[in-house]
Structure 1
Amino acid sequence: MTETTAKTVLVTGGNRGIGYAIAQEFKAAGHNVCITYRSGEAPQEFFSVKADVTDSASIDAAFKEIEAEFGPVEVLVANAGITKDMLLLRMKEQDFIDVIDTNLTGAFRVVQRATKGMLKLKRGRIILISSVVGLYGGMGQVNYSSSKAALVGMARSITRELGSRNITANVIAPGFIQTEMTDVLPEETKKQYIETIPAKRFAQPKEVAQVVRWVASDEAAYVSGAVIPVDGGLGMGH
């Protein structure tokens, strides 16, 4: 994986938030960037394909479209995810199932499909976007935390299976990031969150994106099965 050669990069859920910032970062580095999105508008600056990570046929169709245009996916960023927060005793079983199906099984679907092309190429980078709460925990987030924690086991199992094929699998665990979601929080709530972060601020999406780009580079060729926090020290030790 060289920085001077354009690679085919796929970012799932790349039309907003962290996913969009990651797609922008790879495009700025000169790569062929593709995104999938389930709802909302498709960014014009990327090769955008509407797809649903909870539907294997939809994912397969998206990959075929991307492969016809750019060839096999060489860098996969599994970013698509949802939240359905609720305290444990009030959480509906379906809300747990839905979050797991999107965040965990959805990642499995795209990873499994991407590795077919990576094995033929004998190279690849798999990057799973987790969260600090995957290891740190979060009130009202039993479903979300479980889905994000499980990505660690996924990456490490992939590393053991495919590490000898020049394929790496790593986890990025962002903390509080300044996005549309955090922008609408009451100021007092933001202040309370910031007080828990040693860096005393939220991260910018680009700060996560830069780490993702590095993990996909030649410089990180010997990094695999790692969990890399981008959280200002919030979850250290977890």
Structure 2
Amino acid sequence: MPLAKHPNPSSSVTSHFSLKGKVAAVTGGARGIGLSASRAIAEADASVATLYSSTNDADAIASQIAADTGANVKAYKASVETKEEIASVLRQISEDFGGLHIVVANAAASIGVANHHAAEDYTEEQWRKVMAVNLDGAFYTAQAAGNIFKNQGHGNLIFTASVSAILVNVPQKQAAYNASKAGVVQLARCLSVEWVEFARVNCVSPGFIETDMLDVHPEAHRKKWFDIIPAKRMCEPDELKGAYVFLAS
């Protein structure tokens, strides 16, 4: 039962966050937020499969996390845009590790597409590309994870969405990106109810995080953001580690 009671609630608080004996897969797990989530989950004693699509040194990254944490960490290549490919890789991970308990659907946070066009100027191709990675890929990952969880009788799914799901970023124009992220948040809500008998489903919606995804923005955009960010700084990816471990625990 995914909402089962802790076996010993009065035990040390660290036991409530331990992932010892668990197996996790993190899409987009070799860079940005996904890399921080992969490392955090490994630090909590889980075995971790880091999924990537184009990171050339993904195997070396996985090996370094393993060396630093003592966890079993391996890299797997998969495109979340292709339904059967992500499903096949998650099945393979489950076979290789002897189960799959946690899936972080994070690829859109690491390779997500945020074309900056006025809404009236989007081409069909531009719109579909954003949705293919950010929303379709999140669903394909969730669907593949859900089938594994259903067969096991339990599992834990965590989406990475964005604050863009609930507000309109300025000054950039990114209606497609915002809409795709809003779709991820609502998808998470739907699955948390639909799959309540065999999976727990949650969603993290970060604000501005200092990753290479922001490199495409001109300096003028950054100045505008700092005008409206209360803390006047970006968040480092590692500052999100606790959130992922909490939701995975």
- Is it true that 1:175 corresponds to 2:218 in the alignment? no
**Residue of structure 1 aligned with 2:143, choices 112, 122, 125:** 112
Q: How does 1:84-163 map to 2 (within 5 A)?
A: 84-138=115-169, 139-163=172-196
- The 8 Å contact of residues 72 and 118 in structure 1, kept in 2 or not, is answered as no
Query: What letter matches 1:133 in structure 2?
Result: S
Q: Report the alpha carbon displacement of residue 142 of structure 1 after superposing the two structures with TM.
A: 1.1
Q: Who wins on radius of gyration, i.e. which is larger? A: 2
Of 21, 43, 67 in structure 2, the residue corresponding to residue 28 of structure 1 is 43
Q: Are residues 1:77 and 2:98 paired? A: no
SS of residue paired to 1:163? coil
- Whole-angstrom CA distance in 1 between matches of 2:50 and 2:35: 9
Q: Hey, what's the Cα distance between the residues in 1 that align with 2:139 and 2:97?
A: 22
CA distance in 1, matches of 2:217, 2:129: 24
Change in CA separation of 1:4 and 1:135 when aligned onto 2, cut-off 3 Å: closer
Amino acid paired to 2:193: R
- The alpha-carbon deviation at position 188 of structure 1 amounts to 5.1
Q: Which amino acid aligns with 1:8?
A: V
Q: CA RMSD in A?
A: 1.9
Name the residue aligned to 2:67. Answer: none
Question: In 2 relative to 1, CA 93–125 (structure 1 residues): closer, same or farther, beyond 3 Å?
Answer: same
How far does residue 40 in structure 1 lie from its aligned partner after superposition? 2.1
Misfit runs of 4+, over 3 Å: 181-189
1:183–1:109 distance in 2 versus 1, CA, 3 Å = closer
Distance in 2 (CA, whole Å) between partners of 1:8 and 1:200 is 37
On the 8 A contact 2:19/2:41 being kept in 1, the answer is no
The gaps in structure 1 that reach 5 residues or longer are: 218-238
Amino acid at match of 1:112: Q
2-structure distance, mates of 1:130, 1:213: 16
Aligned to 1:193: 225
More helix by share: 2
**Does residue 1:19 correspond to 2:37, yes or no?**
no
User: TM-score, with normalisation over the residues of structure 1?
Assistant: 0.84
Cα distance, 1:12 vs structure 2? 0.5
Contact 2:41–2:244 (Cα < 8 Å) also in 1 = no
- Aligned-partner Cα distance in 1 for 2:211–2:246: 22
Return the alpha-carbon distance in structure 2 between the equivalents of residues 70 and 53 of structure 1: 20
> How many residue pairs align between the two structures?
216
Give the C-alpha shift of residue 192 in structure 1: 2.4
Q: Distance in 2 between the 1:172 and 1:198 partners? A: 20
Deviates further, 194-203 or 177-186: 177-186
- Aligned position for 2:241: 209
Q: Which stretch of the first structure deviates more once superposed, 29-38 or 191-200?
A: 191-200
Distance 1:67 1:54, change over 3 A: same
Using the alignment, how far apart are the partners of 2:231 and 2:200 within structure 1? 30
Do the aligned partners of residues 31 and 87 (structure 1) sit closer, same or farther apart at CA in structure 2, a change above 3 Å counting?
Answer: same
Aligned to 1:230: none
Do the aligned partners of residues 182 and 30 (structure 1) sit closer, same or farther apart at CA in structure 2, a change above 3 Å counting? same
Match of 1:37 in 2: 52
- Other structure's SS at 2:195 match: helix
- Unpaired runs of 5+ in structure 2? 3-15, 64-72
